[in-house]
Amino acid sequence: MALLIDSSVFIGMERRGLRIDDFRRIGPDEPAFMASITASELLVGVLRATPSPRTTARGEFVERLCRVIPIIPFDLMIARVHARLWTGLAAAGTPIGPADLIIAATALGQDHAILTDNAREFRRVSGLVVIEPTWPE
């Protein structure tokens, strides 16, 4: 099953000094994708950071991710899944954050599992396969 990678995993990789090529060490060896909102979250993180050598390296890391990992756009099919999830979670009194809701809808709409360091939030979404990364020691 292909994986949709949450921004928490990419942030964890960057903070640990892992390269994009190290990706297969922390999750299943499956095709990997990211949602368009994930790319936005990562780019916002770079733009909001105080300029420094670390910020420059972070920007290069994010730009490389956006070139290497295929990005799934938010389209009408995913919008329909998003609307269904939003109303269902709200009715149950278990909403999740707006970006995470788009990520969950993207994963479900594409029949992908999600690799995330934020499993607690995503496990509220019925039918979503949630996988946590295995970080190297």
CATH assignment of the domain containing 60: 3.40.50.1010
Strands (E), the chain: 3-5, 32-35, 71-72, 113-115, 130-131
12 found inside a domain: yes
96 found inside a domain: yes
d(CA 26, CA 35) in angstroms, rounded, equals 19
Mean pLDDT of the chain: 93
The pLDDT confidence band at residue 24, using thresholds 50, 70 and 90, is confident
136 found inside a domain: no
40-49 pLDDT, tens digit per residue, is 999 999 999 8
Instruction: Give the mean pLDDT of 5-30.
Output: 88
108-135 pLDDT, tens digit per residue, is 999 999 999 999 999 999 999 999 999 9
d(CA 35, CA 8) in angstroms, rounded, equals 13
| pTM reported for the whole predicted model | 0.93
26 found inside a domain: yes
In total, how many domains does the chain have? 1
53-70 pLDDT, tens digit per residue, is 888 888 999 999 999 999
23 found inside a domain: yes
The pLDDT confidence band at residue 84, using thresholds 50, 70 and 90, is very high
Instruction: Give the mean pLDDT of 86-111.
Output: 97
The type of residue at 103 is: I
Residue 64 lies in domain: 3-131
CA R_g for the chain: 15
With CA atoms as reference, report the closest residue to 57 among 109, 14, 102, 96: 14
Q: 103-128 burial, b for 16+ CB within 10 Å, e for fewer?
A: bbbbbbbeebbbbbbbeebbebbeeb
137 found inside a domain: no
| The pair of three-digit structure tokens given for residue 35, joined into one six-digit string | 């949602």
Instruction: Give the mean pLDDT of 71-82.
Output: 98
List Cβ neighbours of 30 (8 Å cut-off, separation of 6 or more).
Answer: 1, 2, 3, 113
